[in-house]
Structure 1
Amino acid sequence: MHRYTSVFFDLGRTLVYRIVTQERTLRLLCSEVGAPLLPTPDWAGAVAIWRAYHSSHYLTCRNLAQENDLIFREAQLILNHLAPGFTEEVADRLAMGLQASTRWWSLYDDVPPVLNQLKVAGRKTGIISNWEPSLEQFCLKMGLAHAVQVAVSSGVEGIEKPSPRIFQIAMERMEVEPENCLFVGDDYRMDVVGSRAAGMTPVLLDRNDRYLETDCLKIRRIDELFDILRGEPVSHPTTPVCFASYSL
């Protein structure tokens, strides 16, 4: 029997990437909804406000209704900064645009064939991501739902990577053991440290050679994952990256 029967993935910058910057997103949406912008809108400031509020509040959302409420509050904060004379209708329309997140993301071109091959080979696949409760809906709209058996979001669970617990929750739902699992992600601290602490074998996806020194398996494209599954070497770990380990 093959050692690795299951492969879990991170989502952002692993399977999908943002094709429109957050600033460009706001520029487009504010134009579309007819926001009464100030003469010199501070777009960078609006993005900073959006990011800060979202990162400090999204873990309070456990379901889609709460997530929608959060997005509406974010829309109001953004408009307070860019277009103080906005109406509630404009805020509603901006929130709806922000909710349509698949508009701003795309799959990496190597992802669909790899997920299909894993499925044909009978390997279980899942997603573990620091994402909002809408993760499953997002995966469905991006064409990922058919290829993964489990999608676990920090928003629903109230736990973020790199906590080992969120990885353990995913394995429990998949009914698999850590020693039979690979976890593929692009961030050393969040993905490698967290999955390793949960007993998985981490695989660092480094598409742009951000990590010159690693103490784990490293690939540059998702399809190199098959070398690992076949037991073939893909890289030679060198000096460890200096991040503290994470434990429960």
Structure 2
Amino acid sequence: MKPYLLFDAGGTLLFPNAVTLHEILREFGGTASVAEYDAMMSVFVHLLDMAIRDASETEVRFYEWLVERAGVEAALVPQAADRLRQKDEEQSLWNAVRPGTIETLAALRQEGYSMSVISNAFGHVEEDLAKAGPGRYLERVFDSHLVGFTKPDVRLFRHALQELQLDPGDCVYVGDFFQVDVLGANGAGIAAIHLDPEGLYEGWPGCHIPSVNELPPLLRSGLHLTDALYHPFA
């Protein structure tokens, strides 16, 4: 029996649009390249993962952190971060799909896999996924804002399982935030695969892949969903 595939959205299927970030922050003196913006989401999540793992205090906000890392001078950081938030409200900045993602989802669907999304979001992630392309391959999208629980709260995962009429052992979750996605999925009894695009998690427990494009060969190799590799928080 093929496992049901559950995905995170931001940082997994959708990413901040690096070209748009480059264009906006260049107006504020930002010096980062498009490629550097592309990598920033993964670097930021790793920063948060380390803070949670080490139980250290952090109040880092994504847009402020991104603007500072882009080389914008300190006095302009609040204004630039607010400009990004305004742009995100006008038209979601999370509309970039990594090369090969659509083709991978199409191939998985062709091979008989069913797929849905469980995401910490703000009420419009289903629309974002539909506009960007991945949405056409998904059965359901569970948006934390609409469900009322936020990962890693296991109630969000259990709600999705109930709606999809799945047992935890029937599926695998794929996400980029180790201490949120993997922790939450494992807490609900679901096997998890961690997405590590920049190779920042060497030495961390669990199963790590650089891209969703690695899923088809991994799935074809035969996943043992009860294996400890997929349950580092068990």
Give the TM-score category using the shorter length: 0.5 to 0.7
1:45 aligned onto 2:78? yes
1:181-192 to 2 correspondences below 5 Å = 181-192=171-182
Q: How many residues align?
A: 185
The match for 2:140 among 126, 134, 150 is 150
One-letter amino acid matched to 2:6: F
Secondary structure of 1:184 counterpart: strand
Corresponding residue for residue 10 of structure 1: 8
Deviations 1:116-154 (A, max 9, x none): 111112211011111111111111111122100111111
One-letter amino acid matched to 1:45: P
1:178 aligned onto 2:168? yes
TM-score, length-scaled by structure 1: 0.64
- In 2, distance between residues paired with 1:24 and 1:160? 32
Conserved 8 A contact 1:149-1:174: no
One-letter amino acid matched to 2:10: G
Corresponding residue for residue 204 of structure 2: 214
1:22, distance to aligned residue in structure 2 (A): 6.2
Corresponding residue for residue 17 of structure 2: 19
- In 1, distance between residues paired with 2:79 and 2:140? 35
1:126 aligned onto 2:116? yes
1:98 aligned onto 2:89? yes
Deviations 1:39-72 (A, max 9, x none): x994312456x5xxxxxxxxxxxxxxxxxxxxxx
The match for 2:101 among 88, 101, 111 is 111
Question: Please, what is the CA RMSD of the aligned residues?
Answer: 3.3
- In 2, distance between residues paired with 1:12 and 1:183? 14
The structure with the larger Rg is 1
Change (3 A) 1:19 1:194: same
TM-score, length-scaled by structure 2: 0.67
Secondary structure of 2:96 counterpart: strand
Conserved 8 A contact 1:22-1:47: no
- In 2, distance between residues paired with 1:25 and 1:156? 30
Structure 1 unaligned residues grouped into runs of 5+: 29-39, 51-74, 79-93
Deviations 1:134-192 (A, max 9, x none): 11111111112210011111111221111111111122222222111110011110111
Secondary structure of 1:159 counterpart: coil
Secondary structure of 1:17 counterpart: coil
Secondary structure of 2:15 counterpart: strand
Conserved 8 A contact 1:185-1:203: yes
Deviations 1:44-103 (A, max 9, x none): 12456x5xxxxxxxxxxxxxxxxxxxxxxxx8xx9xxxxxxxxxxxxxxx958733115x
- In 1, distance between residues paired with 2:86 and 2:212? 34
Conserved 8 A contact 1:110-1:223: yes
Change (3 A) 1:206 1:131: same
The percentage of aligned residue pairs carrying the same residue is 25
- In 1, distance between residues paired with 2:21 and 2:166? 37
- In 1, distance between residues paired with 2:21 and 2:13? 19
